[in-house]
Structure 1
Amino acid sequence: MKRLLLPLVAGSMLAGQASAFVVNDIRLDGLQRVSAGTVFNILPISIGDDINSKSIADSAKALFRTGYFQDIQLGRDGDVLVVTMVERPSISKIEIEGNKAIKSEDLLNGLKQSGLAEGEIFQQATLEAIRMELERQYVAQGRYGARIEAEVKPLPRNRVAITIKVREGKVSTIKDVNIVGAHVFKSEELADLFELKPSNWMSWYSNDDKYSREKLSGDIERLRSYYLDRGYINFNIVSTQVSITPDKEGVYITLNIDEGEKYKVNEVKLAGDLAVDKKEVEALLLVKPEQTFSRQIMTTTEDLITRRLGNEGYTFANVTGIPTPNHENNTVDITFFVDPGRRAYVRRINFSGNLKTEDEVLRREMRQMEGASANTAKIDQSKARLGRLGYFKQVDVETTPVPGSGDLVDVNYTVEEQPSGSITASLGFSQSDGLILGGSITQDNFLGSGNRVSLSANSSRTRKLYSFSFNDPYFTVDGVSRGYSLYYSKTNYSDSDITNYNVDTVGGDVTFGYPISEITSVRIGGGVENNKLRIGSAPALRVKEFTDREGSDFTNFKANIGLYQSTLNNGLLPTRGWSQSVSADVAVPGSDLTFYKLNYRGQYFQPLSRTLTLRLASRLGYGAAYGSTYDLPFFENYYGGGFGSIRGYRDNSLGPRTLQSNGQYDPIGGDVLMEGTAEVLFPLPFIKDQRQLRTSVFFDAGNVFETGCKSGKDSKGRDYSSGCTKPSLSDLRYSVGVGLTWITPMGPLTFSLARALKEEDLDETQVFQFSLGAPF
């Protein structure tokens, strides 16, 4: 309670001017935490001043405005002004109980921003305002039964402890969404536009039945856009009612709408300074006469014209489409007003967030140059190239004006690097290779240089591999890449469900890549490889036949050429764009075996909604021998089944099988591969960062074929081969399932649950498949 007292030390003070006196000294009583200097700085009275009742009142008000004091008394002791103050208590501790929907640290940060934090001055009014604000936040989440209680406990030395007790209550669920006044479209059709829906069997996953004021606002805007995109320019939301059941657990949403009449486009005009040739701008007009008016098409046209001007350096161009309705005939004239502004030039290109990657690695991907006019297409193209590197989770770009200049901008790229280690121990497991042990240095962005370096020694049940590879994507400043590798491996295919033989391989190669456009490159390379076959005591008949004819030790000189294209938005787990590659590998004349293999890989990503993405992928292969070699070496065959192929079937189990000496038929692979995948990618619930996680529902199809199947029977009347067919769509295998890939520091963790839809007698199916680490 505010009080202004001037007690008299020697009798009563006389009214009016008689109460004035000259201050010879000022005494402060009652201070604990507030310093005397602070009070003297605030107090408008100094020693030597003549004071009266007005100056005393002004002094009290000035001290109260600080918020430090809950009581102030000003008195006189002779010629000494006595200021007695009672400080407000300080907050010693704040505890929050019962909150789950909102984290305690978020609540404490909100309290701190409002002036309520440990060590601050306590004010009851502030606490009450915050309590009401917290209740409003819970109501905004649909928790209408939420209650916030605040308990203030006095402590010694003029301190208080605050306990905020939260009773969150349940989120009110939506019982019904009713749209009144809909005649052109069915209410059910319009309700499907809403993110908020009445409780249904999928609500446990989507939470779409939990009321939220923000979500309702978004739904109303979607409803408005739906009508405006279909010609109803006078559409109006007349009223919105949200009613709560008495138990505060049910919500009924009612929207009253006025659809208005449908309008068509009558005339489309351009106005303002176009800055570029008028015909170029007219070619970008998606809005045409006699077309049903659509706000979306109008705004898309604005964006196209803005981007076209941005490509000429008019970075801050403003294009506005103004519809003028003609209510007599339900038509609308649209005029696009173009204000290009001043042409902007790039002063600097800045990078942030690249803690490990050198600036040079990012800068060489730039297609927008410093000092040149700003070009929107080149700025976006540079962003896309950074994303395709695969080093970053996310890439953002912002164009900002230079203060004090009307024609200069800075282009600022912000990246978030992928977590990776330059030195790792490899530990993994896959169902085809078993336990994978080894050590490696594998880094796509070695020491932030952009170079790929790999040095590894790995061992599994089926293979031992030692390799070194290096690739410099900018061997020349023009973007020509150079890579080379050396490798040695020992493989025992009898332990990977493939026909019984072993092969030791040693080789090396060099590859150069030549960019021919922003999305296309050609790769040319060559190398030498030596293969030594060991077939054991009970080889497959086909393997024995091959070694009897060709031998078991081969040195081949290989050449390869490939065409690669990519518009993917990310080099690791993309969600938009496409990529494809066509390559040929040839064992050239002079090799012990002469053959070639033609390969195609492609994938396409198309967003279906804000959360769903369609992925289509295919893999095709064909191999054949030429010259004196009889047919494609069996150890160069294609195999199908498992990850990266047709899930739901065991790794390498599909396709032709050859008769073993023990009477079993084991996979031998084939010279033709046909595979395809269609999957829908979706986010996992309750996981905020999905950038290193991919979940999908998939449909796989494919098989391995042989163009020259071996016929005949052995001495016991057994067929020479089984499951060997020429390429045919009728012999494809199919599967459906769900899959997950998670990029971990140890490598990709991948698993799938799949069901084989077409299973022949010798097919080996596998419902659950997984792999931890990078199988080789």
Structure 2
Amino acid sequence: MRVPAFLPVSSPRACAVALMVAAASLPALAVTPFTLKDIRVEGLQRTEAGTVFASLPFRVGDTYSDEKGAAALRALFATGLFKDVRIEIEGQVAVVVVEERSVIGKVDFTGTSEFDRDTLIKALKDIGVGEGQPFDKALADRAEQELKRQYLTRSLYGAEVVTTITPVDRNRVNVTFAVSEGGVARIREIRITGNEAFSESTLLGQLDLSTGGMMTWYTKSDRYSRAKLNADLETLRAWYLNRGYLEFNVDSTQVAISPDKQDISITINIREGRRYIVTGVKLSGDYLGKDEEFRSLVSIRPGEPYKAEEVAATQKAFSDRFGLFGHAFARVELVPRIDRDTGRVEVQLNADPGRRVYVRRINVSGNTKTRDEVIRREFRQFESAWYDGQRIKLSRDRVDRLGYFSEVDIETQEVPGTADQVDLTINVKEKPTGSLMVGANFSSADKLSLSGSIKQDNVFGSGNYLGVELNTSKSSRTLVLSSVDPYFTRDGISRSLDVYYRTNKPVNSQGESYELVTPGASVRFGVPFSDYDTVFFGIGAERTTMRSATALPEAFYRYRATYGRSSTSYPLTLGWQRDGRDSALVPNEGRYQRVNIEWAAFGDTRYLRNNYQIQQYFPLSKKLTLGLNAELGYAKGLGGRDYPVFKSFYGGGLGTVRAFDQNSLGPVDVTGAYLGGTQRVNLNGELYFPFPGVGNDRTLRIFGYFDAGNVWGEDETPTLASFRASAGLGLSWISPVGPLKLSWGQPVRKFPQDRIQRFQFQIGTAF
């Protein structure tokens, strides 16, 4: 006869209630403790019996009691695998009867065009709704609410989600989420109230959110989200604080949605307060006896309106300077002494450097592929040395510049039980460093060309680079095999190896074709003279062959007649580079410089070729950026030999002087061929501003430009009178399919023989 030790229940809480009821009203069903001779499990379909036995608090031979039975029920329910569990006693045998939860066989979606299906499946699996997981109605409801929340972040307030549960064989269920996305709710109105010092249009211009416009299909700035609104409110607050309004406050915000859930109105209520002028800056606290040194770091200027940016910059400069002396946990507090009657404020900075500490240990975390040594060799802060905030920041930046990680940050932890030691942990998140690319490029000069490459920036986690590149441009075809070892020596000297095969087709005004074919190889070493400057030197070997019997320009024909059809050279290279731009794709500020010297001292050709380039970017405002570029080139033949005509500089077109035909500037021989020259000057200025309607998005910008420059032969003297110049407008777009640059210009200074090409563009994409 089976005696139920406990009534069947469907949850741990119900189990507890049943136990109390049984104890109070059914004492006759209580089991007298006995020794177990056997344990059986009934009702299993997919779950392994071992999972049940592992959860039981008793074994064969143990004494069974009501308390152990209750503990067994709690443990089995806690696994989440069963929706009903009971224990029945047959003599001295415990029979565990279970009813398994249904398992999710498939999760599917219908009507979800706004989100990628795989993204939704992953998101729901993280909250417990996924194929192979036990089905729980509560989790399914939670998943439905999560889907609705995701649609709210995309301004789809009318989205409806209906969950359908379909039982299938073997105690499984299919879960289907049917979504009706509805239309996108768009911001129709943004109002700011309480402003007196600045117009509403000025304040709205600081926000990323906006009402509908010509380009909001691209920026999606007319789609509301709470996160975007909060970011805009902080932007507004910072804007006022940087203009002296210390007591500025956002009193409230109201977001109203229309009954059809398609239109949103936002009202921001602000209180400006009074504008305050700084009367002075006072330093208090302990400055390690270096008060004057710290005072020189103050960027707050008395007599001008209070600017939060200057205060924050001063506090950071103080903290960084304390870090140079080993004070990792220095505190710099701002105490503004406000006089509301006169509208003046004295800024007081209280400093507490704390104790000087040194770094006990440096740990590396998160590198699943990259070797520890590849990361550690970039560190400029060392273990068992005094804490140096500047070196730690530099170490972090050097690891980030490797390009192997999507995230890099450094944590500072106090060592328990000590007051003068810290541990540093650098946390990295690996990202793919290999690429296989097949691409197509189209430009007004080269028409359609194909390109491809196989690259691995971090081979086997060693930090070395291997690459193969191919380009089939009409005017320049290239095959390059490259290898770079950034730490060829322990001191950080890099080594680059290149093997290449290039063909070049210079412009011939008569439309005839001739080729210059150059196979070669080179080795280059990079010596880091500082943490910011690298000097390069190397040697190469190449052989250039002129291919054409009838189409060679006169100058090429004469050079071939004097020095032969093929010329071999062994150029020595020396270069220097520093890149301080904030972005290589869309720079807003910073400077980039490079110098390259190529010296062929022996071989069939003897020449010297120098090139210097400098770029400088100035952020004129939040939306305007001025970019300046200058490039100077000079070359000459050595040892009484002519300068090789196939090494000439060229000018005209994108990258030099726009609105002139590609490579058309400089000397022209008697056949009308453009020869390039041995001297080149390029001067470029570009003023960037956002495309109308895109707000502060810097990936799509319009620019006005002014270019000037020219190319001169070896026997010519560069003069301002010979400069060509142009001006015009352009479009720069970092598009989803690749970078695009388009320009239309008008020559400002030209000569009758010049070839004009007002519209020029270049676009690259991968497929």
Deviation at 1:501, TM superposition (A): 7.0
Q: Could you tell me which residue of structure 1 aligns to residue 682 of structure 2?
A: 675
CA distance in 2: counterparts of 1:478 and 1:502, whole angstroms = 43
- Asked if 2 retains the 8 angstrom alpha-carbon contact of 1:656 and 1:704, the reply is no
Seen in structure 2, the aligned counterparts of structure 1 residues 591 and 81 have a Cα distance that, compared at 3 Å, is closer
Q: Could you tell me which residue of structure 1 aligns to residue 615 of structure 2?
A: 603
Pick one of 376, 389, 394 that aligns with 1:376.
389
SS of corresponding position for 2:212: coil
Seen in structure 2, the aligned counterparts of structure 1 residues 363 and 616 have a Cα distance that, compared at 3 Å, is farther
Q: Which has the larger radius of gyration?
A: 1
- Asked if 1 retains the 8 angstrom alpha-carbon contact of 2:361 and 2:423, the reply is yes
Amino acid at match of 2:183: K
Aligned residues between the structures? 733
Q: Could you tell me which residue of structure 1 aligns to residue 325 of structure 2?
A: 312
Deviations 1:223-245 (A, max 9, x none): 22222232323222222211111
More displaced stretch, 599-608 vs 491-500: 491-500
Pick one of 734, 757, 766 that aligns with 1:765.
757
- Asked if 2 retains the 8 angstrom alpha-carbon contact of 1:498 and 1:652, the reply is no
Seen in structure 2, the aligned counterparts of structure 1 residues 452 and 642 have a Cα distance that, compared at 3 Å, is farther
Q: Could you tell me which residue of structure 1 aligns to residue 411 of structure 2?
A: 399
Pick one of 657, 668, 673 that aligns with 1:666.
673
Deviation at 1:29, TM superposition (A): 11
Write out aligned runs for 1:19-30 (5 A).
22-23=31-32
Identity, in percent, stands at 31
- Asked if 1 retains the 8 angstrom alpha-carbon contact of 2:665 and 2:711, the reply is no
Residue 294 of structure 1 pairs with residue 307 of structure 2: yes
Deviation at 1:378, TM superposition (A): 1.6
Deviation at 1:270, TM superposition (A): 3.6
Deviation at 1:401, TM superposition (A): 1.9
CA distance in 1: counterparts of 2:44 and 2:116, whole angstroms = 35
- Asked if 2 retains the 8 angstrom alpha-carbon contact of 1:116 and 1:127, the reply is yes
Amino acid at match of 2:188: K
Write out aligned runs for 1:471-482 (5 A).
477-479=490-492
Residue 408 of structure 1 pairs with residue 401 of structure 2: no
Q: Could you tell me which residue of structure 1 aligns to residue 631 of structure 2?
A: 619
Deviation at 1:439, TM superposition (A): 11
Seen in structure 2, the aligned counterparts of structure 1 residues 575 and 179 have a Cα distance that, compared at 3 Å, is closer
Q: Could you tell me which residue of structure 2 aligns to residue 652 of structure 1?
A: 663
Pick one of 180, 193, 197 that aligns with 1:180.
193
More displaced stretch, 619-628 vs 241-250: 619-628
Residue 194 of structure 1 pairs with residue 194 of structure 2: no
SS of corresponding position for 1:299: helix
- Asked if 1 retains the 8 angstrom alpha-carbon contact of 2:434 and 2:458, the reply is no
Seen in structure 2, the aligned counterparts of structure 1 residues 404 and 562 have a Cα distance that, compared at 3 Å, is same
Q: Could you tell me which residue of structure 1 aligns to residue 5 of structure 2?
A: none
More displaced stretch, 542-551 vs 296-305: 542-551
Q: Could you tell me which residue of structure 2 aligns to residue 223 of structure 1?
A: 236
Q: Could you tell me which residue of structure 1 aligns to residue 433 of structure 2?
A: 419
Write out aligned runs for 1:221-260 (5 A).
221-260=234-273
CA distance in 1: counterparts of 2:333 and 2:227, whole angstroms = 28
CA distance in 2: counterparts of 1:577 and 1:4, whole angstroms = 68
Deviation at 1:380, TM superposition (A): 2.4
Q: Could you tell me which residue of structure 2 aligns to residue 209 of structure 1?
A: 222
What 5-or-longer segments of structure 1 have no aligned partner?
Answer: 8-12, 685-689, 711-723
What 5-or-longer segments of structure 2 have no aligned partner?
Answer: 1-8, 692-696
CA distance in 2: counterparts of 1:246 and 1:203, whole angstroms = 23
CA distance in 2: counterparts of 1:213 and 1:178, whole angstroms = 16
Deviation at 1:542, TM superposition (A): 5.1
CA distance in 1: counterparts of 2:510 and 2:457, whole angstroms = 32
Deviation at 1:364, TM superposition (A): 3.9
Pick one of 731, 750, 763 that aligns with 2:724.
731
Seen in structure 2, the aligned counterparts of structure 1 residues 447 and 694 have a Cα distance that, compared at 3 Å, is farther
- Asked if 1 retains the 8 angstrom alpha-carbon contact of 2:667 and 2:713, the reply is no
More displaced stretch, 451-460 vs 601-610: 451-460
CA distance in 2: counterparts of 1:558 and 1:316, whole angstroms = 53
Residue 639 of structure 1 pairs with residue 630 of structure 2: no
Pick one of 159, 163, 181 that aligns with 1:150.
163
CA distance in 1: counterparts of 2:143 and 2:255, whole angstroms = 25
CA distance in 2: counterparts of 1:484 and 1:66, whole angstroms = 59
CA distance in 2: counterparts of 1:41 and 1:451, whole angstroms = 56
SS of corresponding position for 1:185: coil
Q: Give the TM-score taking structure 2 as reference length.
A: 0.74
Deviations 1:167-188 (A, max 9, x none): 2222211111111111111111
Q: Give the TM-score taking structure 1 as reference length.
A: 0.74
Q: Could you tell me which residue of structure 2 aligns to residue 717 of structure 1?
A: none
SS of corresponding position for 1:216: helix
Amino acid at match of 2:433: P
SS of corresponding position for 1:657: coil
- Asked if 2 retains the 8 angstrom alpha-carbon contact of 1:4 and 1:74, the reply is no
Deviation at 1:123, TM superposition (A): 4.7
CA distance in 1: counterparts of 2:494 and 2:473, whole angstroms = 32
- Asked if 1 retains the 8 angstrom alpha-carbon contact of 2:159 and 2:181, the reply is yes
More displaced stretch, 141-150 vs 675-684: 675-684
